[in-house]
Each structure stands twice: as structure tokens, then as C-alpha cells.
Amino acid sequence: MRRLIASAVLAAGLAFSGTAAAQTVGIATSNPGSLFHNIGTAVANAANQAGLNATIQPATSPNQYIPFVASGGIEFGVANLQEVNYALEGKEWFEGNANPDLRVVGLIMPLKEAIFVRADSDIKSIADLEGKPMVDGFTAQNTILPQLDAMYASVGLTRDDMQPVQVPSVVAGADAFIAGDSVGFIFAHGAGKVREADAAVGGLRALPVENDEETLAAIREHWPVAFLVEMEPGEAPGVLEKAHYMAYPQLVFTHANAPEEVVYEMTKVLHDSKQVMAETFPPFNQFDPQDMVGDTAPTEYHPGAIRFYQEAGLWNE
């Protein structure tokens, strides 16, 4: 975290010397191998090609760097909408630490998530995990526990029905799975660490959820912004048949005091750079720039982003 803060302060110091196109800005991400690190890298590459110099600054998890962005320590971050909303209002693991200066730059493609097990395992469903050793704890990544709770709730189980294997983060959870300490791990579809685990154990199976209102209601008891998406076989490692998985919105965010012109330029980069970002991180092929504006309440859009969307004809009051 000290390295993150030092790098971010340097980036912030450089970010006000010249026009937006000549500035250096930081993008906070989680650890290498994580989905948000992949996303941040793709956004930074696109920004650099567009002339807005950007560097990524990794930390362990969004619950560490979201408040740092909110305080103005770094210009941008990537995260999921539910966690940004919790941070804004000081709820859940941000209780007592509201971050009212958080602002939205734009929604990107949804995060699709699953519990992964070995493809050659006899575990075919989330219900089959009952009584088995499973990753838990996530002391450095608080956002994961309610997501894990949501998946277990989809089949009427809880974390108490498993043998807990304590890990600090999803990356550490994947490592515990690879080492054989856990029968499964939770991660986002398409992340680099999932591909690593897939290669390490000779193939993964992503455990699906049922596509019905009862299942979705059980999931939303723990993760309110969740929805269900269908994926095709081969679309990502572990997807062995057509099935549904839990998903939720993710976004690029900033803080209220970020310069309007800088946020305008970053919003334009996101809108105009789908191909560049997809070349860096293929899940950006699912990104639709027309969907960058949506319901993010209670977190509001930054004025610089709003100005771009108004010019692009995407903003609807």
C-alpha cells in the first residue's frame, strides 16, 4: 500500500502540468492476475495511445483503493458498482467511513463471476460443495464474502456449510485451489488468474446458477445489483456448457475534485477505444460504449463525464 500511495502522489503531482492530453494520471487497480488489474491495464493502454498518459497503480483490493481515489490521492479507479455505492454511503465494510466525493466516469462491461472447480472433479453444482474445503475469509478483499454468500444462497447453502480455507484475496484463493487446499475458488470469468489455474490443474469447471426469479432473489439478498447472464461453451475457461452465471455492473470511477477536462478526456478514451482495449483484454469485446450511461444511484456522474455524454448524445436527464 505504501508503494501505491507513493506512486499515486507522484502521479497526482504530475497531473496538473499542462493540457489534459499531456498529463499523467493514475488508475488504481487490484493485484496482477485480477480482473480489475486486467481492466485497468487495458484502459491505461488506450489512454496512452490517445495521448492521455496513464499508469496503473495496483493494490490488494478495491476496498483499499476506493477511499484513496475518493480522497483525491489518485485520479481514477476500476471497481464494481455495488462496492463503490457502499463506499459512497459508508455502508457494510465501509461503515463509519463514507466517501461522498466518489463520482462515476462510465459503466463498462458487466463482471461475470463463478465458483470454479477442477473439470475432472465430481463437483458439478454449487450444491455439491457442501461439507468440502472452500476458500473463505478474504480479509483484504471484503467485497468477496457477500458475493460468495450470494452464490451459496442460490442453492440454499451458507458459508457455514463448508470447511473454511482462510485466504486474504481472490488471487490467494486461486493459489490455494491450485495447491490443492480448496476444492474451488471464486473469481471473475476471463481474468488472467483463472487462465493460470485452468492450465495448472488441466481444466476448470465453472459452476452455474439456475436462471429463475427465486434464484435471483436469493442472490440479491446478499448482492443487490446482481443479475444473471448466459454464457456459451468455450466463451471463457471453465464454461463447459451453455449456462447462467451471476453478473453485476463494473465501472471506471473518479472523485469530485478531479479536473473536469481530465475526466472529459478519460471518458472520451473509454467511449472511443473499444478495439484498443479489447486487444489488451479480450472481454472488452463485450463492452458497448452506448451503455456507459446508466443507473448508478446513489453515486453520481462527474461533470466532465456528463459534458462528454451530452456532446455524444448519450445523456438523458
Model confidence at 115: pLDDT above 90: yes
For the chain, give the percent of residues with pLDDT over 70.
93
- pTM attached to this predicted model: 0.81
Taking phi over 0 as left and psi of -120 to 50 as alpha, with beta for the rest, 226 belongs to beta
Model confidence at 50: pLDDT above 50: yes
Domain span at residue 145 reads: 111-248
Least confident among 22-36, 107-121, 166-180, 295-309: 22-36
Closest CA to 193 of 168, 171, 169: 171
Count the domains in the chain.
2
156 with 138, same domain? yes
236 with 173, same domain? yes
Model confidence at 71: pLDDT above 60: yes
233 with 213, same domain? yes
> pLDDT, tens digit, for every residue of 214-247?
999 999 999 999 999 999 999 999 999 999 999 9
Q: If you average pLDDT over every residue of the chain, what do you get?
A: 91
Grid coordinates representing 63?
Answer: 476496498
32 with 130, same domain? no
Q: Could you say which of 248, 267, 290 is where a domain stops? A: 248
Q: Could you say which of 248, 275, 292 is where a domain stops? A: 248
Cα–Cα dist 271/240, whole Å: 32
Instruction: Give the domain CATH number at 74.
Output: 3.40.190.10
